[in-house]
Structure 1
Amino acid sequence: MQTSLSPSSQLAKIPTYIYAVVFSSLCIVWGLLWDIMWHMSIGRDGLFAPPHLLMYVGAVVAGLFSGFKILQLTFARTNPERSVSVRFWGVFYGSLGAMYCVWGALTMLTSAPFDDWWHNTYGLDVQILTPPHTVLLIGMMTVQFGAMIGVLALQNRFSQTGLIDPSRAERPTRRLKIMFTVAAGLLLSILYTMLAEKMGSWASHHSSSYIAMSIAFPFYLLAVGRASSLRYPITITAAAYMLTMLIPSWILPLFPATPRLGPVLNPITHYQPFVFPLLLIVPGFVLDKLLHRFDHSPLNDWWLAALTGTAFVLMIIPVQWYFGGFLHTSPNAQNWFFLGSSMSYDTDPNWPYHHKFHPYWLEPLPDFLKGTGIALACAILSARVGLLWGNWMKRVQR
């Protein structure tokens, strides 16, 4: 009588650290968004401010669970998972995702005292990408990429029927497919937040905004679409990103917040939300449809990149042009849902361009068309890189 799980059964289990790192990824994103809204509403913070603690929780959980998994595989020589692990430094064994999570967690925790010193030396940040924030964002994205790769490696491994009994792998495989798109949506949230200053609704009528979108998003969305085995992975990833961005901005304004740092030009009494995210779900659905139709056709990847990159630009420009204009200028957007009334405490409420496009963010039609052409070229190249990256992710099993 068999009293222990067979190697195939053990390999078909989802390790606890996978759930932990996806949870950590969520803590990191929401901690970052809370920190941005804290700066918009309160201003003064410290090393152990509540948003920072939430990010630290994410880093510590990801680092501890992943580190424990690495040590477990290193010292348990009979563990069947060791045969599908990566050996590094000639000593340690672990999954590629776990290693990314450990390094990302260490980077995040290292950035904390650097950020505190920066604030004490230079005062309040005036932009997102300061040096300590850049280090922090690299650590965050490394943890989140580790969560993605950890889930993806298991998904790819479970699909190898020669390694794992298909009847045992069916249920965890479905769960992993969903977890991968959720983890991808969380990383997409960080990517958007890092570039949000170039893509706000105030810039929705300027081609520079669409050039930035065309560089940043096609490669990521198409990589996820090619790597995942779900029917609509890009759409689900975009939906996860939107919900991740919106939930804190819908909930935190229900709580009081008072500015603690001058000058206070706008005496607010509650948290101010972040921005409404881009409607990437619309081009995402179109990209899913195109991948369904052409990803397994004789069309090579350069032609597929040209098709998907062009589709991305042709969809995102009209969608975001009108929706961005609505968010920025319409009184119907100045409410709890669309977040159009958000205004930080150090912003002059009498500035005439709060709900009107500044002349700087408007450009003549020839200039906009020229910028659209640049965006199109960028999107095609970005899509090609994304398809190449997706091919690599489809092969990850460790």
Structure 2
Amino acid sequence: MQTSPVAAAPGIATDALEPVPPSAQARREITHAGFWPSVLFAVAATSILIGIIWDISWHISIGRDTFWTPAHMAVYLGGLLGGFTGGWLALRYTFFPGPNARNESVSIFGVRAPLGAWVTMWGAVAMLTSAPFDDWWHNAYGLDVRIISPPHTVLGIGMIAISVGALLVGLAHQNRANDRTGNWLFTYIGAVFVTLGSVFSMELTFPNLQHAATFYEVCAAVFVLRLVTLGVAGRISWPTTRVATISVGIQCLATWILPLFHAQPKLAPIFNPVTHMVPPAFPVLIMVPAVGIDLLLQKTPLSDSPWKRVLLGCLLGTVFIATFIPVQWLFAEFLLTPHADNWFFAGDRYWGYQTRIDHLWTHKFFRLAKDMDGYDPLTPRAVGLTWLIASVSSWLGVVWGGWMKRVHR
């Protein structure tokens, strides 16, 4: 019997916890009805992702000249589209329920909607709330000196909520339809979800930090949970590898396309007079551990035993550090050489206009000199901590992915 993704709570109807198995005709109707909302949520999440990457490049290439930048509009368009689509689904399932409404939605205080739609609507409210807050922040304090600021934190929480909501809607469609289209749609939304994680950790993962311990610990926390979860929940072959490859491809497109557009700094001080949009650094090679994760998941059936899931998490954590650390370590060395200074790898081209360019330090790894602040070498103890983070993240991913395999609403 299918189980509901929510537990009984005040205001949630208990009939939402026990869906009725649909007939063959109802199954076809479910497949058709769930496709277009999933597509709209995928478009919303994609618009947010494009907007946030574009906005970061805008800040370090041009500076903030107005709130109404194209990048901001792309972000808030995604928020509005996700919020309106979730609202439309709530109206549809509450006032115009079809014969399968109970199987496709949960009820909160008498209002019915898919679980992902509820999460997305909450995220849209958070995003729209952050807009005037962000505008006031810039008028009061000027340009952001870091990606993370109070209004950006609220905005980021909203964006993550919309991506999670889109993922849940796509997941429910995949699990109900169980066809190639639904499987690929969920895989794509999962790739957007992974890419958003890489964007929010960008300040700790650019190439000059990729020999420091914190980089590998952050990657273990940000990527492993997402990749393992999607690998367990996906119904397509090699789901983790496909998600990671699409995610890296999206980031590569941003790295290659943004420098094609002219840009001129408009805020002082200008230490690096860029002439084109500054691209993000070349993405982290998460495809490598993704292959190892897929291979292990294929050979290890998912067990209901808590201890076996813990063991599987430890094995997945071991796979991550055994594949990711040596490959990324060597690749980072290449990225800091003149051989990577081209349009493809964008080596030494990801510095903004407020950076004082000096090849004596821009081509070096940071946090490795004992006489400087932030000393953070990759010691055996740091490798052990990375393994622990990766193992815990893998265990959580196995648990979350196992729950996701049962979501139908």
TM-score of the pair, normalised by structure 2:
0.88
Task: Please say which of residues 296-305 and 232-241 is displaced more in the overlay.
Answer: 296-305
* Counterpart residue number, 1:81: 100
- The counterpart of 1:244, out of the listed 243, 250, 256, is 250
- The counterpart of 1:92, out of the listed 98, 105, 111, is 111
Does 1:288 find its partner at 2:294?
yes
Task: Summarize deviations over 1:109-135 as a string: whole Å, max 9, x none.
Answer: 111111111111111111111111111
Contact 2:27/2:177, CA 8 A, preserved across alignment: no
Give the share of equivalent positions with the same residue, in percent. 37
* Counterpart residue number, 2:388: 377
CA distance, structure 1, for counterparts of residue 377 and residue 243 of structure 2: 35
SS at match of 2:94: helix
CA change 1:385–1:362 in 2 (3 A) is farther
SS at match of 2:112: strand
* Cα offset, 1:70, TM superposition: 1.3
Task: Please say which of residues 207-216 and 177-186 is displaced more in the overlay.
Answer: 207-216
CA change 1:367–1:103 in 2 (3 A) is closer
Give aligned pairs, total: 378
* Cα offset, 1:21, TM superposition: 0.7
TM-score of the pair, normalised by structure 1:
0.91
Contact 1:222/1:287, CA 8 A, preserved across alignment: yes
* Counterpart residue number, 1:103: 122
CA distance, structure 2, for counterparts of residue 221 and residue 375 of structure 1: 16
CA distance, structure 2, for counterparts of residue 224 and residue 367 of structure 1: 29
Does 1:29 find its partner at 2:37?
no
CA change 1:45–1:243 in 2 (3 A) is farther
* Counterpart residue number, 1:305: 313
CA distance, structure 1, for counterparts of residue 37 and residue 176 of structure 2: 17
Aligned amino acid, residue 309 of structure 1: G
Give the superposed CA RMSD: 1.9
* Counterpart residue number, 1:330: 337
* Counterpart residue number, 1:350: 358
- The counterpart of 2:232, out of the listed 218, 226, 229, is 226
CA distance, structure 2, for counterparts of residue 367 and residue 323 of structure 1: 16
* Counterpart residue number, 2:177: 158
Contact 1:206/1:362, CA 8 A, preserved across alignment: no
Aligned amino acid, residue 75 of structure 1: F
* Cα offset, 1:46, TM superposition: 2.3
* Counterpart residue number, 1:162: none
Aligned amino acid, residue 53 of structure 1: M
* Cα offset, 1:366, TM superposition: 8.5
- The counterpart of 2:64, out of the listed 37, 41, 44, is 44
Aligned amino acid, residue 16 of structure 1: W
Flag structure 1 segments of 5+ consecutive residues without an equivalent.
Answer: 160-172
* Counterpart residue number, 1:140: 159
CA distance, structure 1, for counterparts of residue 202 and residue 376 of structure 2: 24
